[in-house]
Amino acid sequence: MKTSIAIYPGSFDPVTNGHLDLIERGEKMFDLLIVAVLRNAEKAPLFSVAERVEMLREVTRQWSGVEVEVFDGLLVDYARKRHAGVILRGIRAISDYEYELQMALMNRKLEPRLETVVREIAQLGGPLQGLVPPVVEERLRAKVS
């Protein structure tokens, strides 16, 4: 049953197959899933925000219930603005959990109506191939060459 709007925030530098796994599953759970790229998350990102958004839009094109946007400032303020009730986050390993818990607790303190859902994302090991969508792999290779 889908009854809400969720935000999947992150830096997505770049989008990986693990992120896509979560987007695909999130799209089934919510009426609208907003993939929100934080502007200026890191001082030296690999890809610009515009490049990250472009790649995300390209690889999520098949899902009509997914939107890609950029946000600044506090995530809770952005969630209020978009009328979202859920924050979706992924973890690959238990070691990621502590960071997620801290963020979820802080966000709950700032906005108690906002629920954080943390999901395990698919572990995709091995070389670059298979870790990122082909279009991202191409851009990564161009970036490092």
**Encoding tokens for residue 65?**
């219930």
Binding positions for ligand PNS, 45-84, rule CB under 6 A = 74-75
Longest dimension (CA), the chain: 47
Residues, the chain, total? 145
Judged by CB under 6 A, the stretch of 26-34, 99-107, 112-120, 128-136 that binds ligand PNS is 99-107
Closest distance between ligand PNS and the C-beta of residue 1, in Å?
A: 26
**Encoding tokens for residue 126?**
């091995």
Among 29, 41, 46, 140, binds ligand PNS (CB under 6 A): 41
Binding positions for ligand PNS, 7-26, rule CB under 6 A = 9-11
Q: In terms of CB distance, is 41 or 135 closer to ligand PNS?
A: 41
Query: Which one, of 83, 72, 95, lies nearest residue 9 by Cα?
Result: 72
Residue 38 binding ligand PNS, by CB under 6 A: yes
**Encoding tokens for residue 145?**
């060459």
Measure the CA–CA gap between 92 and 84, rounded to whole angstroms: 24
Measure the CA–CA gap between 80 and 16, rounded to whole angstroms: 27
Residue 132 binding ligand PNS, by CB under 6 A: no
Q: Which residues bind ligand PNS (CB under 6 A)?
A: 9-11, 38, 41, 74-75, 103, 106-107
